[in-house]
Amino acid sequence: MKRRDFLLGGLGVTAGIATVTSGSFAMGQMMSGGNDAYRPPLSLQDYALPALDEGTSIQGKQVFKLTLQAGESQLLPGLSTETIGINQNFLAPVLRFKKDQTVRMEVSNRLNETAALHWHGMILPATQDGGPHQAIKSGDDWVAEWKVINEPATYFYHSHTHNHTGEQVWRGLAGQMQIIDEDRDAELGIPHQYGVDDYPVIITDRAFDKSGALYYSNTRMQKMQGMQGNVILVNGVADSVLKPKKSLVRLRLHNASNARFYDLHFSDNRPFQLVATDGGMLEQPQTLNRIRLTPAERADIIVDLSDGKPVSLQNRKGYGNLNTGMMSNGALDTNFDIFHIEPSQAEKVPAFTTAQLIRLPNWFNAQGFNVDIATTRHLQLDMQMGPAMMFGSGGFFINEKAYELNTINEVAKANTYEVWELRNPSITHHPIHIHNTQFRIIDRNGRIPSAAESGLKDTVIVHSEETVRVLLPTGPYKDADNPYMYHCHIIEHEDAGMMGQFTVT
Ligand SMILES: [Cu+2]
């Protein structure tokens, strides 16, 4: 089936949708500043459900065997692409486990290069975190083990290799983790059956050259806007169609792109319920008809498809670093489809009506803090526009320092609460990720954030000219020697130096 047939053919799609989606055809011709990105005509493919890995129970632990490997993938029709992945040639299985389990990740690096594998969002000992200090040399093995104390939600695992995170993630070293609680989901009426009514939607963008090779550029200009591509993949497949088995589905939206921001909505503007963000559920479902996701952010949404009508998840242009300041790039900042849903065969099930989900920790309210604040840290995100940026090796700083492997920038006390004030005077937006914690956003430029941002988070967008305060628990693990990272999750910014490290003692 050609995409035109899906958009215009006998599926009852209205002309209105076709008008909106026609923007995506223009993407085929667009280029980003000077690269020769290639996008062949694509035809619709089936939604790709990632392999599910729930581990093997061995002596009270959930054991996962993860092999980093290289291979060939067919990402574009008729062309072969060299990629890397985990237990597969491109991207990775979805890892599912439960709170209170001890997980043991046995990682084998069968790539011809050093790699590191980070468990994004997890609260765990620093030596198990998989940051740049836990590099795994080619041919070596590494084991990470921790007791799961995070809340059920959608998480991320990906390369975090010193200076090479961006290109390794781009080539495919990334996947989704899910902490699940099926009993609680059942009580709340939240879809939770993997591949039946609960679907990962891991969104990445990639650029290719005409031979089908992945195109990755590290020029100064590319670093500033981050590496973005003109082919949108969901779970590694472009232009796919999900045919859900039930009429009420949970989509685990996951921005696994290096740098691209998404402003997501459905083609018929239908509402959906946001039930969880990065690190756990919201207190109440939020009814929305659009949601923004910057790199590394996740959102679990519930969508009612009981009308049986096909619908597309789409990006609306106008959000992200491609339209700020001198970065303005109309070619890449455009409307396009993410993927399609065709629910005519879905079994009809009751609508989602739950009003109250959970209670969040009561760390603060409009009157002030309910916990003692051990420290307030001030972190300034800087992009130097002078010679250092254009000709030097750096230009990306936090508090005027580029990342150094052997510098501890901050020291926190275990089992305390801190306020981190993230200030962004630079010309682009920066999604900031802090390891080993799930925080809550206090305010943006002094204003209480939207209800959609009221839950547990590990990544927060700090827009240009914005100051965002977050309240974070430092966690139970003490280690004076081994640090955790905090950094911009536009991975090219991270690799270029917009990262620091802290210990918890
Ligand atoms: Cu950044």
Length of the chain: 505
- Mean per-residue pLDDT, 479-495: 97
Question: How many angstroms does the Cα of residue 431 sit away from the middle of ligand 1?
Answer: 6
Question: How many angstroms does the Cα of residue 428 sit away from the middle of ligand 1?
Answer: 7
Q: Give the CA angle between residues 33, 163, 121 to the nearest 5°.
A: 100
Question: How many angstroms does the Cα of residue 426 sit away from the middle of ligand 1?
Answer: 9
Q: Residue 21: is its pLDDT beyond 80?
A: no
Question: How many angstroms does the Cα of residue 185 sit away from the middle of ligand 1?
Answer: 35
Question: How many angstroms does the Cα of residue 452 sit away from the middle of ligand 1?
Answer: 22
Question: How many angstroms does the Cα of residue 493 sit away from the middle of ligand 1?
Answer: 5
Q: pLDDT tens-digit profile of 29-88?
A: 333 333 456 666 678 999 999 999 999 999 999 999 999 999 999 999 889 999 999 999
Question: How many angstroms does the Cα of residue 359 sit away from the middle of ligand 1?
Answer: 32
Question: In 3D, which of 103, 100, 132, 127 has the Cα closest to residue 117?
Answer: 132
The pLDDT of residue 386 is 63
Question: How many angstroms does the Cα of residue 319 sit away from the middle of ligand 1?
Answer: 15
The pLDDT of residue 391 is 55
Burial tier of 40 (Cβ tally within 10 Å: 0-12, 13-18, 19+): middle
Question: In 3D, which of 356, 398, 358 has the Cα closest to residue 377?
Answer: 398
Question: How many angstroms does the Cα of residue 448 sit away from the middle of ligand 1?
Answer: 23
Question: How many angstroms does the Cα of residue 422 sit away from the middle of ligand 1?
Answer: 12
Q: Which domains does the chain have, with CATH numbers?
A: 187-341 (2.60.40.420), 364-504 (2.60.40.420)
pLDDT class of 24 with cuts at 50, 70, 90: very low
CB 287 within 8 A of CB 273: yes
% of the chain residues with pLDDT over 70 = 89
Question: How many angstroms does the Cα of residue 70 sit away from the middle of ligand 1?
Answer: 28
Matching residue, tokens 């060939």: 72
Question: In 3D, which of 152, 102, 109 has the Cα closest to residue 357?
Answer: 152
Question: How many angstroms does the Cα of residue 118 sit away from the middle of ligand 1?
Answer: 19
Question: How many angstroms does the Cα of residue 198 sit away from the middle of ligand 1?
Answer: 31
The pLDDT of residue 306 is 98
3-state secondary structure of 132: helix
- C-alpha 496/C-alpha 226 separation (Å) is 10
The pLDDT of residue 43 is 84
- C-alpha 90/C-alpha 472 separation (Å) is 34
Q: pLDDT tens-digit profile of 148-181?
A: 999 999 999 999 999 999 999 999 999 999 999 9
The structure tokens listed for 440 are 């809550």
DSSP-assigned beta bridge partners for residue 150:
none
Question: How many angstroms does the Cα of residue 370 sit away from the middle of ligand 1?
Answer: 32
Query: 182: alpha, beta or left, given left = phi > 0 and alpha = psi -120 to 50?
Result: alpha
Q: Residue 25: is its pLDDT beyond 70?
A: no
The pLDDT of residue 218 is 77
Q: pLDDT tens-digit profile of 209-224?
A: 999 999 998 777 778 8
| Cα Rg of the chain, angstroms | 22
Amino acid found at 43: S
Q: pLDDT tens-digit profile of 243-297?
A: 999 999 999 999 999 999 999 999 999 999 999 999 999 999 999 999 999 999 9
Question: How many angstroms does the Cα of residue 488 sit away from the middle of ligand 1?
Answer: 5
Of 20-34, 232-246, 373-387, where does the model show the most confidence? 232-246
The pLDDT of residue 394 is 60
CB 407 within 8 A of CB 133: no
pLDDT class of 22 with cuts at 50, 70, 90: very low
- Mean per-residue pLDDT, 435-448: 97
The pLDDT of residue 163 is 95
Question: How many angstroms does the Cα of residue 236 sit away from the middle of ligand 1?
Answer: 24
- C-alpha 28/C-alpha 44 separation (Å) is 15
Q: Residue 205: is its pLDDT beyond 90?
A: yes
- Mean per-residue pLDDT, 301-315: 97
Q: Residue 360: is its pLDDT beyond 70?
A: yes
> Which residues lie closer than 8 Å to 395 by C-beta, 6 or more apart?
220, 223, 383, 384, 385, 388, 389, 496, 497
